[in-house]
A and B are shown apart, each in its own frame.
Chain A
C-alpha cells in the first residue's frame, strides 16, 4: 500500500523528470558528448581507427568520387592523392596524454610499410618543432612541397598534413593501384562503413582489399581521461544522492514530526527515511537503465564513440538524478508560489 501510495504521489514528478531529462540528455549529447570525444575518451588504438583500402584501379576519378561520397562525414580525414601530391596525415600532439597519431601507410615498391606513430615521430617529426623538409621511406626521399593545418570539426584537434611530391610518390607506388587511407578519430560506425562500402560499389570498384583486419579486435584501453571522467561522474552521482537524501529528510521533517506524535519511534523514522531514499534511488536507477538502453538501441551511430557502457551509464544516472532534483525544486517553487510565499 505504501509503495502504491508513493508511486501515485510521485508519478507526476517522474514524468516531469523524464521530460526534463530528455531535454538535458539531448543538450548533454551535443555539448558533453563532443567534450568526451575531444578528450579522447575511450579512444581506440590507432590501428583500429585507421582504415586503409587498396583499390585496384588506375582511374583516379573513381577515387575522387569515393572521397567525395564520404566527405559528408566531416570528421573523417581522407588521405589520398589530390592534384599533384598525396596527403600523408598525422595528428599533432596537443598534450602529454594525446601523444597518439596516425600511422603512415606508404606503398613502397610493392610493399606496404606501416610506420608506427613512434617510428614516425622518431624518424621524421620533431614534436616540438614540426618543420619537416623531407620524409624518407626506405631509401627514397619524399620532398615536402607544402604544409597545411586542417582544422576538423572538433574544436582543438588539428591535423597537420604534409604535402609530398606526387611524382616521387608514384615512383615507389604500384602503378595499378591507388592507396586510400581513411583516418577517423575512433571506430567507424556501422552506418559510416556501410556508406563507404556502398560508395565503392557505386563507383564500380569491386576489387577492394581492406588492409587492417584488426578492426574487430578493438582494444578498449582504460586511459587516464576515462578514469578522470568516471571519477567526475562518481562524484556527481554522490553529490546528487547526497542532495536527494538531504531533500527527503529536510523537506519531510513535518511528516516525520507527525509520525512521532502518532507513535513512531526514532528508529522507525530512520528506517522510513532509508526506505524512501533507497526506493527513490532504485526508481532512478531503473529509469536510468531504461533510458540508457533505449538510447543505445536506437542511436548506435550517436554512441559509436561512447565506449564504456558503465561509465556512460553512470553519467546517465547522474543526469537523471539531477533532473529529478531540478524538477522537485521546480515543484516546490511552484507550490510555494501557489501558497503565496
Chain B
C-alpha cells in the first residue's frame, strides 16, 4: 500500500489567539514494505504527522492517500474500519489496559474486525508466538515488564494483519536490551512486507531504516 501525503498541514485552534501550526507543506511518499524513521525534537510535529497518517486526525490542508484512496474524506465509521483493517499502532506508553489480561487486550482490535469470535483464539496464539509471548496469554498486563508489554502491544498492532505499523517512540521507555528486541521484531515485520514508520529519538533505528526523515518546526526534510 503506497501512502502519499501532498501539501499536508495541520493547524490547531485555527483563527484563535492560541493558534498552533503543527505541520505545514508536508510532501511524502512511502512505498509498501518500507522501514522509515522520523526524527525530530519534541514539539516538532512528529506525533501529529503519525496521527494524520494513522487516520486518527484529519489534516487542515492537503491530502493523505492510501493507494489513491483519500482517508481525510472518509466518514468516521469508514475511517475506523480502514484503521482496523490496515493500520497498527505502537506507543511508548504501550496503550494497553493494565487491569486486563494479555488475551483481553489482544481481543480489542478483533472485536471491530471482520474476524469471527471462533477465530480469535487462533489469531491471538499466532501473533503471540510471533513475538515470543505465548506463555503470557492469561497474565495481567500490569504484571508484565516494559519489554514484555511492548511485545504484547506489537502483537496487538499486528492482530488484523495491517499493511502499516505506526510506532511512536516504541523504545522510549525500554532498556537497551528490550529496545533491541523490539527493533528486531519490527524488522521481522518489515521483512513480511509491512510498512513500518517509526517516530523516535533512538539513534539505533537510524542504521536499520530504509529512509530517515527529519522534521523541524512542522516542516519535513529527508535525510
Q: Which A residues form the contact surface with B (CB < 8 A)?
A: 1, 5, 9, 254-255, 257-268
CB-CB contacts of B98-136 with A at 8 A, as 1s and 0s?
A: 011000100011011100010000000000000000000
Q: Given the interface contacts A5-B104, A265-B76, does A260 sit within 8 Å of B81 by beta carbon? A: no
Cβ contacts under 8 Å, B84 to chain A: 262-264
Enumerate 19 A-B pairs (CB-CB under 8 Å) in ascending A order.
A5-B104, A254-B97, A255-B97, A257-B95, A260-B80, A261-B54, A261-B56, A261-B83, A262-B84, A262-B108, A262-B156, A263-B85, A263-B160, A264-B80, A264-B84, A264-B112, A265-B81, A265-B112, A268-B80
Q: Does B77 contact A (CB under 8 A)?
A: yes
Nearest-Cβ distance from residue A301 to partner chain B, whole angstroms: 44
CA distance A267 to B80 in the complex (A): 10
Q: Does B205 contact A (CB under 8 A)?
A: no
Closest to A263 in B: B84
Looking at the complex, which one of B77, B108, B117, B160 makes contact with A259 (CB distance below 8 Å)? B108
Cβ contacts under 8 Å, B111 to chain A: 262, 264
Q: Does B35 contact A (CB under 8 A)?
A: no
CB pair B109–A263 under 8 Å, yes or no, is yes
CB pair B83–A266 under 8 Å, yes or no, is no
Nearest-Cβ distance from residue B20 to partner chain A, whole angstroms: 21
Looking at the complex, which one of A257, A258, A263 makes contact with B81 (CB distance below 8 Å)? A263
CA distance A18 to B79 in the complex (A): 43
Contact-residue bracket for chain B: 20 to 34
CB pair A265–B77 under 8 Å, yes or no, is yes
Cβ contacts under 8 Å, A264 to chain B: 80, 84, 111-112
Cβ contacts under 8 Å, B97 to chain A: 254-255, 258
CA distance A71 to B77 in the complex (A): 73
CB pair A261–B112 under 8 Å, yes or no, is no
CB pair A258–B83 under 8 Å, yes or no, is no
CB pair A262–B99 under 8 Å, yes or no, is no
Q: Given the interface contacts A9-B99, A263-B80, A265-B76, does A258 sit within 8 Å of B108 by beta carbon? A: yes
Looking at the complex, which one of B79, B104, B112, B117 makes contact with A262 (CB distance below 8 Å)? B112
CA distance A259 to B108 in the complex (A): 7
Q: Does B89 contact A (CB under 8 A)?
A: yes
CB pair B77–A267 under 8 Å, yes or no, is yes
Q: Does B96 contact A (CB under 8 A)?
A: yes
Closest to B79 in A: A265
Nearest-Cβ distance from residue A38 to partner chain B, whole angstroms: 46
Cβ contacts under 8 Å, B54 to chain A: 261
CA distance A262 to B97 in the complex (A): 12
Closest to A260 in B: B56
Nearest-Cβ distance from residue A296 to partner chain B, whole angstroms: 37
Cβ contacts under 8 Å, A254 to chain B: 97
CA distance A261 to B89 in the complex (A): 7
Looking at the complex, which one of A1, A259, A267 makes contact with B76 (CB distance below 8 Å)? A267
Cβ contacts under 8 Å, B113 to chain A: 263
Cβ contacts under 8 Å, A257 to chain B: 95
Q: Can you list the 4 inter-chain pairs with the closest CB atoms, starting with the nearest?
A: A263-B84, A265-B80, A262-B109, A263-B112
Cβ contacts under 8 Å, A266 to chain B: 76, 80
Looking at the complex, which one of B77, B80, B96, B160 makes contact with A258 (CB distance below 8 Å)? B96
CA distance A225 to B191 in the complex (A): 76
CA distance A262 to B89 in the complex (A): 8
CA distance A255 to B95 in the complex (A): 8
CA distance A261 to B79 in the complex (A): 11
Cβ contacts under 8 Å, A5 to chain B: 100, 104
Cβ contacts under 8 Å, B100 to chain A: 5, 9
CA distance A264 to B83 in the complex (A): 9
Choose among A257, A265, A266, A267 the residue with the greatest number of B CB atoms under 10 Å from its CB: A265
Closest to B84 in A: A263
Nearest-Cβ distance from residue A328 to partner chain B, whole angstroms: 14
CA distance A5 to B140 in the complex (A): 13
Known: A265-B81, A266-B80. 13 other contacts (CB 8 A): A1-B117, A9-B100, A255-B97, A257-B95, A258-B108, A261-B89, A264-B80, A264-B84, A264-B112, A265-B76, A265-B79, A265-B80, A267-B77
CA distance A262 to B79 in the complex (A): 12
CA distance A297 to B80 in the complex (A): 52
CA distance A257 to B109 in the complex (A): 12
Q: Given the interface contacts A5-B104, A268-B112, does A263 sit within 8 Å of B76 by beta carbon? A: no
Nearest-Cβ distance from residue B167 to partner chain A, whole angstroms: 12
Nearest-Cβ distance from residue B91 to partner chain A, whole angstroms: 8
CB pair B96–A263 under 8 Å, yes or no, is no
Choose among B54, B56, B111, B113 the residue with the greatest number of A CB atoms under 10 Å from its CB: B111
CA distance A261 to B104 in the complex (A): 15
CA distance A263 to B54 in the complex (A): 10
Cβ contacts under 8 Å, A265 to chain B: 76-77, 79-81, 112
Nearest-Cβ distance from residue B42 to partner chain A, whole angstroms: 20
Closest to B89 in A: A261
Nearest-Cβ distance from residue B32 to partner chain A, whole angstroms: 21
Closest to B120 in A: A1
Closest to A265 in B: B80
Nearest-Cβ distance from residue B222 to partner chain A, whole angstroms: 27
